[in-house]
Structure 1
Amino acid sequence: MPASDHPTPVPDLGTYMAEDTTEGTPRLGKVTAWDGELVHLEPPGGGAPWSAAPAGLRRPSERERALIRVLTRPVTATRSAARAPRTFPEPPVVLSVEPVPPAVPAPGCATCALAAERERQQLRDRDHSAAVDSRIEMRGHPHGRP
């Protein structure tokens, strides 16, 4: 019987295999089942399982086996992490419930008087962001100072 007539051996359940892809990065997977035609694999460390023909699988290289060990190794707490002191967040910031008094316009300044009137209207309309903008405009307006 010619060598090509021999069926491809199926890897044992639980062994890790590699499948070369067209992207150049091999897919690594643990053999979970064989249905007579396809081998079913799942990636080390979790992920979406896939199926492959036994002829397209090979044993992983030493570098690939090292990657499989890293991906399947359970994460354990270190001593320093186990002994780390517990920290608690700072207490919450308590904001005043008192409304901020409206800004006082500079005497005799038409620009400040207009900004103060706009601020009062914006506070009545509950547009607090625009009211703050009017207050900043009033405070930043020059009044004969150098």
Structure 2
Amino acid sequence: MTTEPTTSFEPGTLLHDPATDRVGEYQATVGPYALLRPVGGGREWQAAPASLRVATPEQRLSAGVRAANERAGRATWGYAALDRPPLPVADCETCAEVAALRRAAQAASDASAETDADVLMRRHHRAAHGA
């Protein structure tokens, strides 16, 4: 793969814009500017075509991860926010068991198990409590 400058790109090509240090999907050339859209969508920006380079695999991966993290941060799936753990319902044995799993995961600093407990609690809420 080349990182040499070029001014002719196929729509959809992921390019690195050194002026903004961002990776964007090439949309079109309008006048003297190339239009780039952030990976995952968003507001386009203008860049000087001569300064653009085809994004390296590392830059493409980083941009994709950033886009996925932004999508996850906006997702709520009907809950107030996914970054807040679901609360157990009082007098529900299953809720109490899953909450205990989450506390144990927190005590062990096991973020994966903590996330698993949150998923279990949300699934239980939907199935048993209509939330």
- Would you tell me which structure has more helix in proportion to its own residues? 2
Q: Which has the larger radius of gyration?
A: 1
Using structure 2 for the length normalisation, give the TM-score: 0.46
